[in-house]
Amino acid sequence: MTIKIEKLYKHYKQKDQIIQILSGVDLEIKTGEIVALLGKSGSGKSTLLSLIAGLDLPDSGKVLINDTDLFKLSDEERARFRGKNIGIVFQQFHLVNHLNAFENISLSLEINNKKDNSLIRQWLDEMGLTERAHHLPSTLSGGEQQRVAIARALIFNPKLILADEPTGNLDNETAKQITKLLFDYVRKLKTTMIFVTHDRELAELADRIVTLKDGRCDF
């Protein structure tokens, strides 16, 4: 999936102040490419990712995903496009608390009108979670929760993975393991990925590093 970001602007209002977060972001990503997005805390990485996911709207500018002009779609069309094409992995995991590991992964298939219990078992196995299938998120370690979230994001074979500091809440050793696991699967499935991190060592695993600074992308 090729992604073309053109002159993206976004501000927020805080009290009476206007804070310009993105000031003309331009970026192109090729199909199957893994891009690490680096930048200081508060530089707008999550803002940019939520625009690419179509979870938020910019002040101006374009996001083209293949031939789809994201902000020309209606809210409903955009949500459907996201559900079908984009898998998202968050820092805070965002699993559904009252569903167990199996059910959390299943939910992601159901959104795409699919049901395939043996595929879910296969993903649980690949993520080393077979013994944890019936555990609720609150009884799983951070690393285990993120492996559930990775399976949930990849199981419906999305064309694009957006990962927002997916290992930011994990200890160093687990962070490395989970990042390698995620990269291995994304490479195997030839999925395009934007991987947000502030850890340069993890960023080095990507095909390319892009830095967000002063509201723009530096190459």
Binding site for ligand ADP (CB under 6 A): 12, 14, 21, 39, 41-47
The only residue of 43, 46, 146, 197 in contact with Mg ion, by rule CB under 5 A = 46
Binding site partner of 166, from Mg ion, ligand ADP, none, Cβ cut-off 5-8 A by kind: none
In angstroms, give the least distance from the CB of 67 to ligand ADP. 27
- Give 68 or 91: the residue with its C-beta nearer to ligand ADP: 91
H-helix or E-strand spanning residue 81: helix 75-85
Q: Which stretch binds Mg ion (CB under 5 A): 40-48, 151-159, 172-180, 181-189?
A: 40-48
Which residue number has the CB closest to Mg ion?
46
Question: CB of 49: closest distance to ligand ADP in angstroms?
Answer: 8
Q: How far is the CB of 216 from Mg ion (least distance, A)?
A: 17
The terminus-to-terminus CA distance of the chain in angstroms comes to 20
Structure tokens at 113: 């009108």
User: Quick check: 191 binds Mg ion (CB under 5 A)?
Assistant: no
Q: What is the CA 174 to chain-centroid distance, rounded?
A: 18
User: Which sign does the torsion angle of CA 140, 35, 210, 43 carry?
Assistant: negative
Question: Strand 192-196 to strand 208-213: parallel, antiparallel, or no bridges (unpaired)?
Answer: unpaired
DSSP calls for 130-187: GGGTT--GGGS-HHHHHHHHHHHHHTT--SEEEEESTTTTS-HHHHHHHHHHHHHHHH
Q: Give the range of 24-32, 38-46, 109-117, 144-152 binding Mg ion by CB under 5 A.
A: 38-46
Stretches 12-20, 46-54, 132-140, 179-187: which one binds Mg ion (CB under 5 A)? 46-54
CB of 91 to Mg ion, least distance (A): 7
Tokens standing for residue 72: 């020309």
Q: Which residues bind Mg ion (CB under 5 A)?
A: 45-46
